[in-house]
Amino acid sequence: MRRPFIAGNWKMNLNRAEAVALAEALKEKAAGVDYADIAVCPPFVYLDAVAGVLKGSNVKVGAQDCYFAGNGAFTGEVSVEMLKDIGCEYVILGHSERRHILGESNELTNKKLLAALAGGLKVILCVGEMLSEREANQTDDINAEQFFGSLAGVTAEQMKDVTIAYEPVWAIGTGKTASPEQAEEVHAFLRKLLEYRFGKETADTVRIQYGGSMKPANAKDLLGQADIDGGLIGGAALQADSFMGIIECGK
Ligand code: PGA
C-alpha cells in the first residue's frame, strides 16, 4: 500500500502575507495528519518565508522549478543548491505550463531532474497529454515520450526520490476533471512503464499523483483508484480548507 502524497502547486498566485497566512493555517490544520505526506510549492520569492513557517511541521516545502547548473551566469534562474539552502525538499519539474507556455522540452526537463536528484531534492515529475493529443488517440504515446525522455539516465535507486504526476493538460485549471476511470487508465499505463523501465519493486513503490481540477468533491473517487496515490493540486490548494478537504480524502 502506497502512502498518499498530496502536494499543493500555488503557481503564480498569492502575495507574501497571503502565502505566509496559508502556510500558518496549514501547519495548524495538518498537524494531526499521520496518513499522508503533504507538501506545498509556493512561488520562488515566498519560498523562504513559507519554509520558515513550516519548519519542523509535517507540511514540506517544494519549488515549482529549478535550473540544472550549479551557479553562474544564468539570469533569472534558481539552482538546486539555493533551494536546499532555504529548506526546500521537493521540486516540481516538467509541469505542462512550463512545457507548453515556456516551451520546455523533455531534454531540458531531464537535465533539471538529474541535477535535482544529484543535489538531494525530491522530484515531482509531471507528464500529461493535451486535448488535441487525446482526441487523436495519442495519450499513451505522449505520456510515454515524456516519461522516458524526462527520466533518461535515472536509476531505480534514484526513483525512490521521484513522484510522477499525471496531469492531463485539458483538466488543469479548467474545472474539467478526468473521470476516475480515465485517470486510472493512464496511471495504470504509467505504472507499466515504471515496471518496464525500472523493475517491479520500483513500479510498486513509486507514487503517481493525479493533477487537474482535483477538489474535495472529487478527490475521494480519484484517490480510491488502485494506481492513484495522491494529488498535485493547483486552484484548490490556495485555500487551507479545500486543501485539507482533499488531504482528508487520502485517509
Ligand atoms: P489545478 O492545477 O488543480 O488548478 O487544475 C493542477 C496543476 O496544474 O498542478
Give the model confidence (pLDDT) of 79-111 as tens digits: 999 999 999 999 999 999 999 999 999 999 999
Note the pLDDT tens digit of each residue in 182-206. Answer: 999 999 999 999 999 999 999 999 9
Q: b/e map of 12-44 (b: 16 or more CB within 10 Å)?
A: eebeeeebbebbebbbebbeebeebbbbbbbbb
Of 95, 133, 184, 187, which residue is the catalytic one? Answer: 95
Residue 175 has pLDDT above 90, yes or no: no
Is the pLDDT confidence value at 173 over 90? no
Q: Is 81 a catalytic residue?
A: no
Look at residue 174 in the predicted model and tell me its pLDDT.
87
Count other C-beta atoms under 10 Å from residue 241's C-beta: 10
| Contact of 72 with 94, CB cutoff 8 Å | no
Choose which residue among 233, 238, 246 to substitute to test ligand 1 binding: the one with the highest number of ligand atoms within 8 A of its C-beta: 233
pLDDT tens digits, one per residue of 20-69: 999 999 999 999 999 999 999 999 999 999 999 999 999 999 999 999 99
- CB-count exposure of residue 222 (10 Å: 0-12, 13-18, 19+): buried
pLDDT confidence of residue 69:
98
Q: 3-state DSSP call for residue 35?
A: coil
Task: State yes or no: is 167 an active-site residue.
Answer: yes
Distance of alpha carbon 206 from alpha carbon 132, whole angstroms: 29
Instruction: Give the pLDDT confidence of 221-249 residue by residue, as tens digits.
Output: 999 999 999 999 999 999 999 999 999 99
- For residue 1, the model assigns a pLDDT of 80
As given in the structure block, the three cell numbers for residue 35 are 496518513
> Which atom of ligand 1 lies at the shortest distance from residue 236's CA?
3
178 touches ligand 1 (CB under 6 Å): no
- For residue 227 and ligand 1, the question of a CB distance below 6 A is answered with no
pLDDT at position 177: 85
Give 208-225 pLDDT, tens digit per residue.
999 999 999 999 999 999
CB of 233 sitting under 6 A from ligand 1: yes
Say if CB 94 and CB 146 are below 8 A apart.
yes
Residue 7: strand, helix, or coil: strand
Helix-then-strand count for the chain, H and E: 11, 8
The catalytic position among 97, 167, 184, 187 is: 167
Ligand 1 center from residue 148 Cα (angstroms): 23
Cα–Cα dist 97/224, whole Å: 27
Report the alpha-carbon distance of residue 49 to residue 29 in Å, rounded.
Answer: 19
**pLDDT for res 19:** 98
> Residue 176: pLDDT above 90?
no
Mean pLDDT, range 154-178, rounded to an integer: 94
Q: Which residues contact 225 (CB under 8 A, 6 or more apart)?
A: 180, 181, 183, 184, 187
Would you say the pTM of this structure is higher than 0.85? yes
pLDDT tens-digit profile of 111-165? 999 999 999 999 999 999 999 999 999 999 999 999 999 999 999 999 999 999 9
Cα–Cα dist 21/35, whole Å:
24
Are the CB atoms for 66 and 115 separated by under 8 Å? Answer: yes
Quote the pLDDT of residue 128. Answer: 98
